[in-house]
Amino acid sequence: MKAVILVLALACLACPMQAAAEESNPINMVVHLISDLQTKIIKAGEDAHKEYVKFADFCEDRAGDFSHEIETINAEVEELSATIEEQKATIAELTARTETLAGDISANDVDLKAAKDKRKKENAAFVKEEKELRETNSMIKRAINVLEKETKGGASMLQLKNADSVAQALSVMVQASLIGTSDAAELTAMVQTAQGSDDTADDEAFGAPAAAAYESKDGGIVETLEDLLDKAETQ
């Protein structure tokens, strides 16, 4: 029993001595350093791998996002390109329509100018005709007033009563300076037109047709002039 205890005691004393010997061994120190370095490298590799995996996942996610964005942008580009082509067609159509409308406006301007010129001429003719008509009505009224006055006791009463036509009555009035020669000629021509006479023989008094052509259908010179006035006023 004592022998066993002695052996164990010796063994215990030998173990620390062996460990100290191993620690003081250069080879063991190198191996220990390499082992520690290996452990650190492996851990660093594992950490780097984790970072790589994380970064790779990030890149893959971003790549997916970029791919989706590129597809979206390409779709938008195609849509915008189609819209641009449509707008180009619309612009061409509107340009052609504008040119057509410009031509229509130009033609309308020409027509409008022509219409204005025509209206201006018609208005000038109307104003002139209206003026002439007023002057004619005034001339007929003056002639009627003179005839009525003279036949009621004027200096030419007898001659006027003996006149059997408008032409003779007007001739008497001209000779008596009751009306002008131009008024008498115009009145005579108007009576001729009204009664439809084709006689073109000259009247010796003031160049009008023969007196017989202007006999009043009513038998009265004043009535003839009044009929003429009514026709003139209804025009």
Give the separation between CA 214 and CA 195, rounded to whole angstroms: 7
Residuewise pLDDT in 10s, the chain (235 residues): 444 344 344 444 444 444 444 556 888 888 888 888 888 899 988 989 999 999 988 988 888 888 889 999 999 999 999 999 999 999 999 999 999 999 999 999 999 999 999 999 999 998 988 888 888 788 888 778 877 776 666 656 666 666 667 777 777 777 766 777 777 787 777 777 776 644 443 443 334 333 333 333 333 677 777 777 777 667 6
CA separation for the pair 197, 188 (Å, rounded): 11
The whole-number pLDDT of residue 204 equals 39
pTM for the complete prediction?
A: 0.41
Structure tokens at 197: 């006479």
pLDDT at 203 (0 to 100): 42
Q: Using DSSP, how many helices (H) and how many strands (E) does the chain show?
A: 6, 0
pLDDT for the residue 23: 54
> Dihedral of the CA atoms 87, 89, 91, 95 (nearest 10)?
-170
Q: What is the per-residue pLDDT for 205? A: 38
User: How many Cβ atoms sit within 10 Å of the Cβ of residue 114?
Assistant: 10
d(CA 143, CA 228): 11
